[in-house]
Amino acid sequence: MKKCGFVTIMGRPNVGKSTLLNGLLNIHLAITTDKAGTTRNSIEGIYQDDESQIVFIDTPGIHKPIHKLGNVLNKTAYLNMNQADIILFMIDAKTGFGKGDQFILNKIKETEDVPVFLLLNKVDKIEKETLFKTIDKATKDFTFQEVIPISALEKDGLDDLVKTLKKYLPDSDPIFEDDALTNVSTKFIMAEFVREKAMQLTREEVPHAITCYVENYKETDDLIKVQVLIVVDRLPLKKIIIGKNGSMLKKIGTSARYEMEKFMGKKVYLETYVKVIENWKEEEKYLKEFGFENE
Ligand code: GDP
Ligand code: MG
């Protein structure tokens, strides 16, 4: 018997949810950037040790939907919340507890009998006093089972977090194989690496207008050949992504390939190209094709 269960990470965009998932698993599974709205699918990462199997679910941050993609993302986040054994409600200790956080907390309140932990992230950036003030504000009208300050980036407090989670999780026979890691496919992760680099390396207007998709994937013992299509919603962005004489696309490709090789432990041959599809964010058929959950 092990401690087994599902733990959903909730919180505003940019508080550090994906960074926490990566920190817990010690790999780069979920892409992270300093731009809001990076995570678009629920990514499950399975933490395993001798006594536990804990499925952490990284959710797209909840926000006001402005297009169909936004609706799909919110629905995904709420769905995950209701299926969890434990909810981790993460806030950014540096920016404090604000309206956006309150909005999500109100949604969390609607779930019944699920323990909720308050995670104060980015404590590497703040003073103790600020921390206490934020805790006071966040706990004013809700009682959390646990309140835990962490730094996801510096992996500070993560061992304690796992230890505490084990206290709350039910005993059961293992649910997964002991080498199971995630619900998402290798192809998905490859496309995500390209999107991460494109988002990190380009200017503000690009991030939300872009999606990436693996068109061809061939794996042999010592080499992976992969073609990734970068889709943007207007021509000027295609020009930005490609850059002068293809320099930006080359940069994106080189750094994405580096992540792929690290993740897969073998050589990767990566080809990228860019295409304009004007309203991919509104069109059901494209949302499906690009892998967004959508019932
Ligand atoms: P998400 O939108 O909630 O998934 O947030 P991300 O995981 O993508 O992180 C957003 C930004 O915050 C990235 O630039 C991270 O490097 C940064 N970040 C995350 N955790 C920490 C932390 O503990 N300390 C600091 N200083 N930065 C962090
Ligand atoms: Mg994220």
| pLDDT tens digit sequence for 147-176 | 999 999 999 999 999 999 999 999 998 888
CA of 49 to the centre of ligand 1 (A): 25
Look at 32-46, 126-140, 210-224 and tell me which has the smallest mean pLDDT.
32-46
Residue among 10, 19, 94, 193 to mutate when testing ligand 1 (max atoms within 8 A of CB): 19
Q: How many helices (H) and strands (E) does the chain have?
A: 9, 10
What is the pLDDT averaged over residues 177-197?
89
Ligand 1: lining residues by beta carbon, under 6 Å:
11, 13-19, 32-34, 38-39, 61, 121-122, 124-125, 151-153
Can you give the pLDDT at residue 295? 36
CB-based burial of residue 39 (10 Å sphere; 0-12 exposed, 13-18 middle, 19+ buried)?
buried
pTM for this entry: 0.86
pLDDT value for 62: 59
- Amino acid letter for position 134: T
Q: Are strands 146-149 and 171-172 parallel, antiparallel or unpaired?
A: unpaired
Q: Which of 14, 101, 155 to mutate to test the pocket of ligand 1 (most atoms within 8 A of CB)?
A: 14
Q: Which amino acid is it at 10?
A: M
61 band by pLDDT with thresholds 50, 70 and 90: low
Q: Which among 235, 189, 184 is positioned nearest to 209, based on CA atoms?
A: 235
Is a pLDDT exceeding 70 seen at residue 279?
yes
Mean predicted confidence (pLDDT) in 127-146: 94
Rounded to the nearest angstrom, the distance between the alpha carbon of 18 and the centre of ligand 1 is 7
Bridge partners, 44 (sequence order) = 57
Banded pLDDT at 294 (limits 50, 70, 90) = very low
Q: Ligand 2 centre and the CA of 34: distance in Å?
A: 10
